[in-house]
């Protein structure tokens, strides 16, 4: 058996390690995340101009539509393919949150409706919801105190 120095071993490991694709991954995340946001803007424009909703209602309807589409695409295993291609670009928009809620439910559906799907629905998203609700309550309390 041949002994290697630490430097030789580092060179050997570096030669076998896959090369980083960070620039490619960042570009794809930017493009996919931007595409999702552009689709969201198109939906917002549709609700505002075509349907005639005011700005607040159009924004709410857009969020609901994006969440529905994300959950539907997750259920059809299409969102996972988009996420494999676009990486983190699919996590940032509201669609990533919907995907995080639906994915565990689908994964555990074989365990039954209550103990599988319903119990696992909030596995990932539960802490996010708790934090968001708590932060919003604290914000309102601070707002009311200093108003």
Q: What is the pLDDT of residues 13-58, one digit of tens each?
A: 888 888 888 999 999 999 999 999 999 999 999 999 999 999 999 9
Is the model more confident about 70 or about 117? Answer: 70
Q: Is the pLDDT of residue 144 over 60?
A: yes
Q: Where are the domains of the chain?
A: 22-145
Mean pLDDT of the chain: 85
The whole-model pTM stands at: 0.67
| Interatomic CA distance for residues 82 and 115, integer angstroms | 29
| Interatomic CA distance for residues 93 and 65, integer angstroms | 13
Query: Rg of the Cα trace of the chain?
Result: 22
- Cβ proximity of 65 and 93 under 8 Å: no
Q: How far is CA 53 from each of CA 1, 39, 64, 68, 96, rounded to the nearest angstrom? A: 75, 18, 14, 19, 25
């Amino acid at each position: 058996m041949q002994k290697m120095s630490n430097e030789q071993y580092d060179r050997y490991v570096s030669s076998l390690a896959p090369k980083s694709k960070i620039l490619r991954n960042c570009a794809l995340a930017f493009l996919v995340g931007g595409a999702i946001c552009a689709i969201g803007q198109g939906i917002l424009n549709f609700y505002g101009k075509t349907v005639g909703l005011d700005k607040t209602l159009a924004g709410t309807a857009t969020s609901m539509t994006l969440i529905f589409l994300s959950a539907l695409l997750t259920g059809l295993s299409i969102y996972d393919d988009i996420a494999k291609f676009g990486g983190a670009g699919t996590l940032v928009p509201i669609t990533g949150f919907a995907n995080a809620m639906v994915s565990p439910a689908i994964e555990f559906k074989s365990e039954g409706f209550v103990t599988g799907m319903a119990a696992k629905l909030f596995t990932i998203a539960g802490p996010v919801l708790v934090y968001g609700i708590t932060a919003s309550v604290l914000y309102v309390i601070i707002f009311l105190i200093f108003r």
